[in-house]
Structure 1
Amino acid sequence: MSNKRRLWQIFGPVLCAFILLLVVFLLPWERTFSKESLYEAAASQTTTVFKGSKMKQEAYDDGYVPFYGSSELSRMDPLHPSVLAEKYHRSYRPFLLGGPGSQSLAQYLGMQGTAKQLKDKKAVVIISPQWFTKKGQDPNAFTMYYSPLQACNFLLSAKNNKTDRYAAERFLEMPEVKGEIKSGMRSVAKGEKLTSTQKFILENRRRMLNNEDKFFSTFQLRNRVEKIHKKTKLLPNTYSVAALDKVADQQAAEHTNSNDFGIDNNFFRLRLPNKTLKRLKGSQRNFDYTKSVEYSDFQLMLEQFAKQHTNVLFIIPAINEKWSDYTGLSQPMYQRSVSKIKYQLTSQGFDNITDLSRQGNRKYFMEDTIHLGWRGWVAVDRAVKPFMKKANKPYNYSMHNYFYSKKWQIKPYASPTGVTDQNKTNKKDSLKAK
Structure 2
Amino acid sequence: MKKSIYLIMPLVVGGIFLFGLNKFLDSKIDYMLKEKDLIPIMNDALSDVKDKGVIANNHFLRNKDIMMLGSSELSHSTKQHPTYYFNTSRSKNEVITIGRAYTQSLQDATILGSFDSSVKDKKVVLLVSMQWFMDREGVTPHHYQTRFSPTQFYAFLNNPSISNENKIKFADRSSKLLADSEDYKSESVYAKLYSSDTFLSNTEKVLLKPYFEFRKYIVSLKEKGTTFKKLLILQDKKAPVKSKPIDWKNEEEKAIMDAKKRVGNNELCIDKGYYRHNFGKNLHKLEGKYKYVNLLESKEFYDYQLNLDICNDLGIKPVVVLIPGMDKFYNMTGISTEERHEFYDKAGNIAKEHGFKVIDLRENETEKYYLRDVMHLGTKGWVDVCEKLFKEFNQQ
TM-score w.r.t. length of structure 1 = 0.75
Corresponding residue number in structure 2 for 1:355: 360
Aligned pair partner of 2:309 in 289, 300, 303 = 303
CA distance in 2, matches of 1:187, 1:287: 34
Within 5 Å, which residues of 2 pair with 1:4-403? 22=18, 29-30=25-26, 31-32=29-30, 33-34=32-33, 36=36, 38-46=38-46, 48-49=48-49, 50-87=51-88, 89-116=90-117, 118-132=119-133, 133-157=135-159, 161-175=164-178, 176=181, 178-191=184-197, 195-217=205-227, 239-275=246-282, 277-350=283-356, 352-389=357-394
CA distance in 2, matches of 1:347, 1:359: 24
Deviations 1:101-158 (A, max 9, x none): 0101112122332133653221111101111131111221212211111222233447
Does the C-alpha gap of structure 1 residues 21 and 144 become closer, same or farther in structure 2, counting only changes over 3 Å? farther
Does the C-alpha gap of structure 1 residues 390 and 332 become closer, same or farther in structure 2, counting only changes over 3 Å? same
Q: CA deviation at 1:280?
A: 2.3
Q: CA RMSD in A?
A: 3.1
Does the C-alpha gap of structure 1 residues 252 and 171 become closer, same or farther in structure 2, counting only changes over 3 Å? same
CA distance in 1, matches of 2:102, 2:372: 18
CA distance in 1, matches of 2:320, 2:52: 22
Q: CA deviation at 1:269?
A: 2.7
Q: CA deviation at 1:180?
A: 3.7
Q: CA deviation at 1:45?
A: 2.0
Structure 2 segments unaligned to the other structure (5+ residues): 1-5, 236-242
Aligned-partner residue type, residue 181 of structure 1: E
Deviations 1:66-88 (A, max 9, x none): 10100111223222211112346
CA distance in 2, matches of 1:19, 1:86: 42
Does the C-alpha gap of structure 1 residues 37 and 255 become closer, same or farther in structure 2, counting only changes over 3 Å? same
CA distance in 1, matches of 2:214, 2:317: 34
Deviations 1:190-213 (A, max 9, x none): 247684444433332222222221
Q: CA deviation at 1:271?
A: 3.0
Q: Is the 8 A contact 2:78 2:379 kept in 1?
A: yes
Q: CA deviation at 1:310?
A: 1.6
CA distance in 2, matches of 1:187, 1:173: 12
CA distance in 1, matches of 2:54, 2:163: 24
Q: CA deviation at 1:311?
A: 2.5
CA distance in 1, matches of 2:37, 2:13: 30
CA distance in 1, matches of 2:96, 2:269: 28
Deviations 1:339-379 (A, max 9, x none): 111221112222x1110012111111111111111221122
Counterpart secondary structure, 1:66: strand
Q: Is the 8 A contact 2:92 2:395 kept in 1?
A: no
Moved more, 361-370 or 139-148: 139-148
CA distance in 1, matches of 2:78, 2:36: 22
TM-score w.r.t. length of structure 2 = 0.82
Q: Is the 8 A contact 1:26 1:207 kept in 2?
A: no
Moved more, 54-63 or 120-129: 54-63
Corresponding residue number in structure 1 for 2:238: none
CA distance in 2, matches of 1:90, 1:160: 35
Q: CA deviation at 1:321?
A: 1.5
Q: Is the 8 A contact 2:52 2:152 kept in 1?
A: yes
Q: Is the 8 A contact 1:25 1:208 kept in 2?
A: no
Does the C-alpha gap of structure 1 residues 179 and 140 become closer, same or farther in structure 2, counting only changes over 3 Å? closer
Moved more, 288-297 or 201-210: 201-210
Counterpart secondary structure, 2:295: coil
Deviations 1:37-82 (A, max 9, x none): 5211112122522111111111222232110100111223222211
Q: CA deviation at 1:18?
A: 7.2
Aligned-partner residue type, residue 248 of structure 2: V
CA distance in 1, matches of 2:118, 2:36: 20
- Equivalent pairs counted in the alignment come to 365
CA distance in 1, matches of 2:168, 2:143: 22
Moved more, 354-363 or 302-311: 302-311
Q: CA deviation at 1:263?
A: 1.2
Q: CA deviation at 1:384?
A: 0.3
Q: Is the 8 A contact 1:283 1:327 kept in 2?
A: yes
Counterpart secondary structure, 1:311: coil
Counterpart secondary structure, 1:246: helix
Aligned-partner residue type, residue 380 of structure 2: R
CA distance in 2, matches of 1:170, 1:68: 20
**Percent of residue pairs identical:** 21
Aligned-partner residue type, residue 373 of structure 1: G
Q: Is the 8 A contact 2:65 2:123 kept in 1?
A: no
Deviations 1:185-237 (A, max 9, x none): 1232124768444443333222222222111136579x9x9xxxxxxxxxx96
CA distance in 2, matches of 1:21, 1:271: 52
Does the C-alpha gap of structure 1 residues 64 and 48 become closer, same or farther in structure 2, counting only changes over 3 Å? same
Does the C-alpha gap of structure 1 residues 197 and 111 become closer, same or farther in structure 2, counting only changes over 3 Å? farther
